[in-house]
Amino acid sequence: MKTQIDWMALGVFIFFFALVTVMGFAASRWQSGGTHKGAHLDEWGLGGRNFGTWITWFLVGGDFYTAYTVIAVPALVYAVGAYGFFALPYTIIVYPIVFAIMPKLWHAAHRAGHVTAGDVVYGRYSSRTLEFAVALTGVIATMPYIALQLVGMEVVIKALGLTGELPLAAAFIILALYTYSAGLRAPALIAFVKDLMIYIVVLVAIVLVPMRLGGYSAVFSSAGAAFAAKGGATGLFLQPQQILPFATLALGSAMAAFMYPHTLTGIFAARSADTIRKNAVFLPAYTVLLGLIALLGFMGHAAGIKITNNNDVVPALFNALFPSWFTGFAFAAIAIGALVPAAVMSIGASNLFTRNFWKPYVNPEITPAGEQQVAKIVSLVVKVGALIFILFLPTQFALDLQLLGGVWILQTFPAVVFGLFFGWFRAPALLAGWAVGMAGGSWLAFSDGIKPVHTLMLGGSGYTIYTGLLALVLNIAVAVAVQLVLGERGAQKPVLDRPAH
């Protein structure tokens, strides 16, 4: 990484960062006039539920494909090769799930005025305990995810030659202020700039970098030679023993992706169910982009860059092969790519806290304006917490917690989704399944040293499977068993949602 400041790159970086800052503060007056005018959680936390297909496409893509994605996916490919491409089938599988499930979830939320997954669960099952479990899982799974956006931003700030925590803290303070002011409209508006910049950076990189390195044949040859020298399970192709963990990791990650508060916030903010269906059709364009981003990991080997941390591969590649002005543009795109998801994540977490903790347990008579104010304050607290998290705790701690967060958030899938299609389950059964899934998934993850997969020994053979998926199977099995014990007397129709409380 650079030890001296590249003033040209830094100047370009600051220009684009200043541009999105102005846009963030101006966003409070953009797309206003939704269902609820004035001080209301729907206005601040969901943008008035008024986002059409185009805005939703950028917003959902912006908070799903994060700065850490741009840093971490090439880093994983650089480190292990083909196995790092699991994110590609994961984002292919996820959109049929969005197409089938999310319009129904949107209808449930829109009809009853729900803002969070916890609201939907309470409206379906009238269980404060199950609502609390879903909301708590969402908050604890989101916090390390926000911290990882800071990791992505920190990597590019250091690549510019800046040292110390002040630049990172300043960037996040600016983010906190315009999110407080404009709510979801700020990241929705900034997502336009962020995605356009990322597309430009990646398209330029996948054309020019191979040209400078001797073509794609040279890129793959160099990467193959590097993996062969490394040995182990690395390589340009999956090893037979990697296929099952690769497939289950992709499937489990796809099922978990839209259970996170930030992705659901984008869904609930959509204008209609058709908006969501159209996005499920158009969003795979981001999968193409992700595949191109992943190739940067192979290019790092071909460029012969020397790094001490795999997360540095993309910044080092750009520093080595591009002029300073374009490097500054690329780093700005990545940093802005941290702002959009971090803002939406903090809004999603604050919506959960306000609706599913504060209102039912602290102030049941709170007004819509009061809800908005609580959510604004909590969004600040969440961001400060994430900043403290990354400044004073090892980065690996955030990585471990984010991995656990994926296992945990997947355990809310039955409670959030099953009631949309059938009314057989009661809240006690789903709560028991959630508790066993959370405990079992956590125990497996810790017993494996916080790794994403677990090896089951069956009949003398080992089967390596994504830990979150194993926990989900256990979750559903327990829920079915408890429901059988409870009997049919508590079955509920899947369409009767109670109004937002």
Asked whether the predicted pLDDT for residue 65 surpasses 90, the reply is: no
Q: What is the pLDDT of residue 244?
A: 94
Query: Whole-angstrom Cα distance, residue 298 to residue 219?
Result: 6
pLDDT band for position 38 (cuts 50, 70, 90): low
pLDDT at 311: 87
Per the listing, tokens 């992505």 go with: 152
- A 10 A CB-CB count for 113 gives 17
Tokens 């960037």 correspond to what residue?
A: 171
* Distance from C-alpha of 197 to C-alpha of 290, rounded to nearest angstrom: 14
Q: Which residues face 235 on adjacent strands?
A: 81
For residue 467, pLDDT beyond 70: yes
Structure-model confidence comparison of residues 456 and 62, the more confident one = 456
Q: Which pLDDT does position 355 carry in this prediction?
A: 95
* Domains of the chain (ranges, CATH numbers): 7-395 (1.20.1730.10)
Looking at mean pLDDT, say which of 6-15, 98-107, 330-339 comes out highest: 98-107
Least confident of 64-68, 111-115, 144-148, 330-334: 64-68
Question: What is the SS3 string spanning 225-283?
Answer: HHHHHHCCCCECCCCHHHHHHHHHHHHHHHHHHCCCHHHHHHHHCECCHHHHHHHHHHC
With a cut of 90, say whether residue 410 has pLDDT above it.
yes
3-state secondary structure of 66: coil
CA atoms of 68 and 154, how far apart (whole Å): 10
Supply the mean pLDDT for the chain: 88
pLDDT band of residue 495 (cuts 50, 70, 90) is: very low
393 DSSP 8-state letter: S
Question: Under a CB-based contact definition with an 8 Å cutoff, are residues 56 and 266 in contact?
Answer: yes
Distance CA 197, CA 177 (A): 23
Residue 488 pLDDT exceeds 80: no
Q: What is the pTM of this model?
A: 0.90
Contacts of 239 (CB under 8 A, 6+ apart): 233
What would the two tokens of residue 167 be? 């630049």
How would residue 501 be classed by pLDDT, with cut points 50, 70 and 90?
Answer: low
| Euclidean distance between the first and the last CA atom of the chain, given in angstroms as a whole number | 52
Inform me whether the pLDDT recorded for 36 exceeds 70. Answer: no
Residue/partner pairs of 173-178 with CB below 8 Å, 24 or more apart: 174/21, 174/24, 175/24, 175/339, 175/342, 175/343, 175/383, 176/346, 176/379, 176/380, 176/383, 176/384, 177/25, 178/21, 178/24, 178/25, 178/27
Question: Which sign does the torsion angle of CA 115, 116, 117, 121 carry?
Answer: negative
Strand partners, 270: 51
Spatial separation of the C-alpha atoms in residues 227 and 475, rounded to whole Å: 38
Task: Please state the rounded mean pLDDT for residues 226-255.
Answer: 89
In this predicted structure, what is the pLDDT of residue 500?
A: 53
